[in-house]
Amino acid sequence: MGQVEATTERIVTGKPEDVFDALADYRETRPRLLPRQFSEYEVREGGDGEGTVVHWKLQATSKRVRDCLLEVSEPSDGQLIEKDRNSSMVTTWTVTPAGEGRSRVVVTSTWTGAGGIGGFFERTFAPKGLARIYDELLAKLATETAQ
C-alpha cells in the first residue's frame, strides 16, 4: 500500500478572500460547483468552513463510488482541509494571490492506496480521473467568481 496523490490547479478571476469564501460556502456555493460525479450532497453540521461536516458520494469511475463524510478545518488563511471519516482521503484546498484580482486555487487529494496489482492500477489511473473531476469543479468556480 502506498500514498496516492492527485493535484489540480487553476487561476481564477476574483480576490483570494472572495474565492476562498466561495469554496468554504458548503450550503449555497459548493453544491453549484459540483460536477455530475457527486451525488447525495448534504451538509450535516455548520456549512461555512471550519466545523462543517458534509456528506456526498463520489463516483470516480463507473464501478467505484466513495461514500464520503468530510470534516472541514481551516488550519491557515486561504486553506481548507476536508478529512473523510470513512477513509484515509484528505483533500486540501489552497487559495493564494495570482496577480491583480486573480487567485491560484490548488486542490490536492491524498489517500492510502490498495496493495498489489489493484494498487498499481489505482496509483496509475485514479489521480488522473480525480484531477479531471476537480478540473471541472475549478472551471465552475472560475465562472462563479468571475461574476
Kindly tell me the burial class for residue 119, based on how many C-beta atoms sit within 10 Å of its own C-beta (0-12, 13-18, 19 or more): middle
| Cell matching residue 118 | 489493484
What are phi and psi for residue 145, nearest 5 degrees?
-85, -15
pTM above 0.95, yes or no: no
Model pLDDT, residue 46: 97
The DSSP bridge partners found for residue 73 are: 81
Q: What percent of the chain has pLDDT over 70?
A: 88
Q: Give pLDDT tens digits for 24-60.
A: 999 999 999 999 999 999 999 999 999 999 999 998 7
Q: Is the pLDDT of residue 123 over 60?
A: no
Asked whether 122 and 1 are in contact (CB, 8 A), the reply is: no
Q: Of 14-18, 32-36, 128-132, where does mean pLDDT reach its minimum?
A: 128-132
Instruction: For the chain, give percent helix, strand, coil, nearest 5.
Output: 30, 45, 25
